[in-house]
Structure 1
Amino acid sequence: MAAANDLSRILPAAVDGFDAQRSAQRHLIQPWPVASSIGATALGLIGSGEGIYITDGDGRRLIDGPAGMWCVNLGHRREELARALYEQALQLSYNTPWYTMNAPSALLAERIAAHAPVDLGHVFFTTGGSSAVETALRFMQFMNNVRGRREKKLILSRGAAYHGSTYLTASLNGRPRERDWMDGVEQLVVKLSCPDPFRRPPGMTVEGFADLLIDEFREVVARIGADRIGAFVAEPVQASGGVIVPPPGYLKRIRQLCRDNDILYISDEVVTAFGRLGHVFASGDVFDLEPDMITFAKGVTSGYFPLGGVVISERLLEELRRTNRPDALFGHGLTYSSHPIGCAVALRNLDLLEAGALEHARAVAPYFQDRLKELEDLPLVGEVRGVGLMACIECVADRQSNNPLALDKDVGRRIDQHCQALGLLVRPLVNMCVMSPPIVITTGQIDDMVAILREGISRTMDDLRRDGVWQG
């Protein structure tokens, strides 16, 4: 592998922070911009990465706390993954998926199916998470059309959910700030309550909260009619909503209600799959679920190539094959479906996961959770929650009301700025900080990460007191 600085011969703007940022301000539209600066901003520059670390445009080395965007599971600059990409590109860089196929996609589908829960044996490959969830939803619509149930199309989602950025998938999202200025297919989506035990009604037990959520589901199905509801879509752990781990048993109970009412259960594992919770899929191995479909992306290639997909139940496909509408066309596909390079990288990624990375993730996850939990002794921290190698530090103004710092919606960004100065990149979400480092992180590196977080939160507390927005 060439040294990072050798990239200057090919991409000078990637290592020259001033030029790259000036070009971005002139020509690059960044994701999630606000109207006042759209097309005129430059975000922090990342120049290189190695292992769990990235180096920013100023040459500072930081722990990559979010693992890119939940995706760099095996860490940066893994030569095995880079070589898989390179070698496949030299052999076959692309084939049209409409009337040809490639061997890496067939092998990858077989290996992924072997890790999925019983009966989920077929894979449709997409380009990422949004297109994976979109594919699952379009498959549900197609299936109900073929079955003669054209009214059975409503989709149940939940508060604080995140399922994508396409027109349909974004309609499922449950974070209010995304709904203020963007349109969606409101008539197709029914929102259920967020299953966040931290925000349960005062005085209610976690078990009682789970019962409340189940009763709500039953009430919605009874009111709307099961004959109109096509699918329930749920992340096993709501990632971008703040690493919300649902009450024990809640997902299995919802799964049974879906089965009882002929509602397809789509488990959105774009974040939780491929090692984040120590398994290739968390639905079966962690939550004891057998969904009808599982969506995935991100960690399937450790972020080295855009790839996603849907694992679909054999039962559903068999039902379609037996239909009296054998000519019905599932008219859905993408130019880069089953991309040979992406599938080749994913195969090598899966090799590395199976060879020890999954076992390592399961081994260090309890230490990761325990060390982060220690941050609850800081007055600003209301709760530290998580599972596997994903966690959230939620900050509150006071622990009696769990007020999410209503006077300062930017507390997560404040913490991130302090942590970056100390050597850690954080994923700030309003009053929360999300941590999901590469799953190859060691216990010593976890210690470093927690120490920086503690100092960053402590400095933020000093800032808030000085600015008069918090009295803790």
Structure 2
Amino acid sequence: MAAQSKIKANELIEPGDDDAVELAKRHLVQPWPYAGSVGNEARALIGEGNGIYITDGSGKRLIDGPAGMWCINVGHRREELAKVMYDQAMALSYNTPWYTMNAPSAELAKRIADVAPGDLSHTFFTTGGSSAVETALRFMQFYNNVRGRPEKKLILSRGGAYHGSTYLSASLNGRPRDRDWMDGADELVVKLSSPDPFRRPKGTDVAAFTDFLVDQFRDTVARVGAERIGAFVGEPVQASGGVIVPPDGYLKRIREICRENDILYVSDEVVTGFGRLGHVFASGDVFGIDPDMITFAKGVTSGYFPLGGVIISERLLEELRRSNHPDALFGHGLTYTSHPIGCAVALKNLDLLEEGVLAHTREIAPYFQAQLKTLEELPLVGEVRGLGLMACVECVADRESKDPLQLDKDVGKRIDAHCHELGLLVRPLINMCVMSPPLIISREQVDDMVAILREGISRTMDDLRKEGVWRG
């Protein structure tokens, strides 16, 4: 017989309770585990959140540097959102989307259409970013089947990309460690280079690098055949790839090639949407493009409820309605599609964004980027880059070779550990530290965050020197 837990069913586990660690190790499978510790792992326990801060299991208050996972845009403990969740649950907690609908989802779809670029006018709601990307790709397949082009199904993606964890969305991912031990639909995906100016070939200026990326895209379409390529999926800023901000004009040029070759352009705004760059959507307002579809999640509810979606061009829907196959069924849906509580929370969250949070983000973003840029004074830092309220500090062994510290791939974790001790949660990515705080952060809090990060990097440099891993 399995050992009995010390926790009774009706007892709450308080923040810092050792029982939570015990139960996690015995019963909880964490996301992205290693085989050697799967099902026997406890991670940093977070007990509470308030504003831009969280409290860990020991009671230490930390700046929430990653905003959860790019998502706590309006901050923790917003009573307005909690109240909406309660009110909607008491009115209608759920309805089946197969043959009924609810009012919050219809209103939210209209609000989204009002601010989306181009002719994006209809939204299919999902449960998160992975299912949003999966939906966009399945819609592309359905669209081409109905139009009599069953061979037009290949998907263009890029190195450094991250688009999800479901089978098809994960197949697009361009980070090697994401796929080393995992299967994917490789026969459906064609990978292109990451638009990372920091990693451009030595001696190549940014303009020439941009031309290379565009030429590579055009040549790939010609080589593979436009008649076989259904979609290009790209983040406006590659988030989990290290906050890769593309060169000026690159996305517009890629959009034109897609339009010329009848390739659907899917802009993955799971991270950049709903305020991270100071606008509800960055595709049009920041990068000047009008995609055929936009996927979103995370910030749409500021992480208070799982919700995502894909916004679809009116043109695509009209073409389906005019087709010779009016009985063709888009056999796709989720139990929690258009969830009434999630949509109600998103409506209130959108109110908060439009009533001041977006304007504040646009005002403070230059200060945020400028203060983080001062960290390039540290010899371990190769580059600080970012846009809006998302940034990455990339550490290198030396700036000439840009060697990402091959002798110590956990340098990001080292920095995070020091920063945690000092009062800041960082998102470590191998040799990088990603920062994407709640959008309500103040100038004083930016200063605190940068000061802690500076000290955390400095302590890490000392550690590496003492261990002989890095001479600096």
Q: TM-score range by the shorter chain?
A: over 0.9
Paired residue for 1:4? none
The answer to whether residue 169 in structure 2 is matched with residue 169 in structure 1 is yes
2:309 is paired with a residue whose SS is strand
Unaligned runs of 5+ in 1: 1-7
Shift of 1:12: 2.5
Assess, with a 3 A threshold, how the Cα gap between structure 1 residues 182 and 9 changes in structure 2: closer, same or farther. closer
Instruction: Give yes or no for contact 1:277–1:387 (8 Å, CA) kept in 2.
Output: yes
Counting only pairs closer than 5 Å after superposition, residues 107-126 of structure 1 correspond to structure 2 as 107-126=107-126
Counting only pairs closer than 5 Å after superposition, residues 237-386 of structure 1 correspond to structure 2 as 237-386=237-386
Instruction: For 2:72 and 2:470, locate their aligned partners in 1 and report how far apart those are by CA, in whole Å.
Output: 36
Instruction: For 1:209 and 1:187, locate their aligned partners in 2 and report how far apart those are by CA, in whole Å.
Output: 28
Instruction: For 2:178 and 2:304, locate their aligned partners in 1 and report how far apart those are by CA, in whole Å.
Output: 28
Instruction: Give yes or no for contact 1:17–1:45 (8 Å, CA) kept in 2.
Output: no
Instruction: Give yes or no for contact 1:413–1:430 (8 Å, CA) kept in 2.
Output: yes
Paired residue for 2:420? 420
The answer to whether residue 401 in structure 2 is matched with residue 401 in structure 1 is yes
Paired residue for 2:62? 62
Instruction: For 1:306 and 1:265, locate their aligned partners in 2 and report how far apart those are by CA, in whole Å.
Output: 25
Instruction: For 2:116 and 2:11, locate their aligned partners in 1 and report how far apart those are by CA, in whole Å.
Output: 40
Letter aligned with residue 452 of structure 1: I
Paired residue for 2:75? 75
Letter aligned with residue 122 of structure 2: H
Instruction: For 2:331 and 2:393, locate their aligned partners in 1 and report how far apart those are by CA, in whole Å.
Output: 43
The answer to whether residue 458 in structure 2 is matched with residue 458 in structure 1 is yes
CA deviations on 1:336-360 (whole Å, 9 max, x unpaired) are 0000000000000000001000000
Letter aligned with residue 98 of structure 2: W
Bigger shift: residues 307-316 or 12-21: 12-21
Instruction: For 1:10 and 1:357, locate their aligned partners in 2 and report how far apart those are by CA, in whole Å.
Output: 39
Paired residue for 1:431? 431
Instruction: For 1:85 and 1:179, locate their aligned partners in 2 and report how far apart those are by CA, in whole Å.
Output: 37
Letter aligned with residue 178 of structure 1: D
Shift of 1:323: 0.3
Instruction: For 1:467 and 1:370, locate their aligned partners in 2 and report how far apart those are by CA, in whole Å.
Output: 32
Paired residue for 2:4? none
Shift of 1:459: 0.1
CA deviations on 1:118-172 (whole Å, 9 max, x unpaired) are 2000000000000000000000000000000000000000000000000000000
Instruction: For 1:11 and 1:307, locate their aligned partners in 2 and report how far apart those are by CA, in whole Å.
Output: 29
Instruction: For 2:180 and 2:360, locate their aligned partners in 1 and report how far apart those are by CA, in whole Å.
Output: 42
Percent identical among aligned pairs is: 77
Shift of 1:422: 0.1
Assess, with a 3 A threshold, how the Cα gap between structure 1 residues 11 and 280 changes in structure 2: closer, same or farther. farther
Counting only pairs closer than 5 Å after superposition, residues 166-205 of structure 1 correspond to structure 2 as 166-205=166-205
Instruction: For 1:284 and 1:10, locate their aligned partners in 2 and report how far apart those are by CA, in whole Å.
Output: 49
Letter aligned with residue 420 of structure 1: H
Instruction: Give yes or no for contact 2:412–2:433 (8 Å, CA) kept in 1.
Output: yes
Paired residue for 1:145? 145
Instruction: For 1:36 and 1:132, locate their aligned partners in 2 and report how far apart those are by CA, in whole Å.
Output: 31
Instruction: Give yes or no for contact 1:196–1:244 (8 Å, CA) kept in 2.
Output: yes
Counting only pairs closer than 5 Å after superposition, residues 154-165 of structure 1 correspond to structure 2 as 154-165=154-165
1:219 is paired with a residue whose SS is helix
Paired residue for 2:5? none
1:100 is paired with a residue whose SS is coil
The answer to whether residue 213 in structure 2 is matched with residue 213 in structure 1 is yes
Letter aligned with residue 83 of structure 1: K
Instruction: Give yes or no for contact 1:365–1:387 (8 Å, CA) kept in 2.
Output: yes
Instruction: For 2:410 and 2:248, locate their aligned partners in 1 and report how far apart those are by CA, in whole Å.
Output: 32
Paired residue for 1:3? none
CA deviations on 1:213-255 (whole Å, 9 max, x unpaired) are 0110111111110000000000000000000000100000000
Task: Calculate the TM-score normalised by the size of structure 1.
Answer: 0.98
Instruction: Give yes or no for contact 2:16–2:58 (8 Å, CA) kept in 1.
Output: no
Assess, with a 3 A threshold, how the Cα gap between structure 1 residues 23 and 192 changes in structure 2: closer, same or farther. same
RMSD: 1.0
Instruction: For 1:403 and 1:448, locate their aligned partners in 2 and report how far apart those are by CA, in whole Å.
Output: 29
Letter aligned with residue 148 of structure 1: G
Letter aligned with residue 317 of structure 1: L
Shift of 1:13: 1.8
Counting only pairs closer than 5 Å after superposition, residues 78-93 of structure 1 correspond to structure 2 as 78-93=78-93
CA deviations on 1:270-322 (whole Å, 9 max, x unpaired) are 00000000000000000001000000000000000000000000000000000
Letter aligned with residue 103 of structure 1: A
Instruction: For 2:226 and 2:451, locate their aligned partners in 1 and report how far apart those are by CA, in whole Å.
Output: 51
CA deviations on 1:412-451 (whole Å, 9 max, x unpaired) are 0000000000000000000000000000000000000000
Letter aligned with residue 306 of structure 1: P
Shift of 1:9: 12
The answer to whether residue 388 in structure 2 is matched with residue 388 in structure 1 is yes
Instruction: For 2:356 and 2:22, locate their aligned partners in 1 and report how far apart those are by CA, in whole Å.
Output: 43
Task: Calculate the TM-score normalised by the size of structure 2.
Answer: 0.98
Shift of 1:15: 2.1
Letter aligned with residue 315 of structure 1: R
Instruction: For 2:152 and 2:130, locate their aligned partners in 1 and report how far apart those are by CA, in whole Å.
Output: 22
Letter aligned with residue 437 of structure 1: P
Shift of 1:178: 1.2
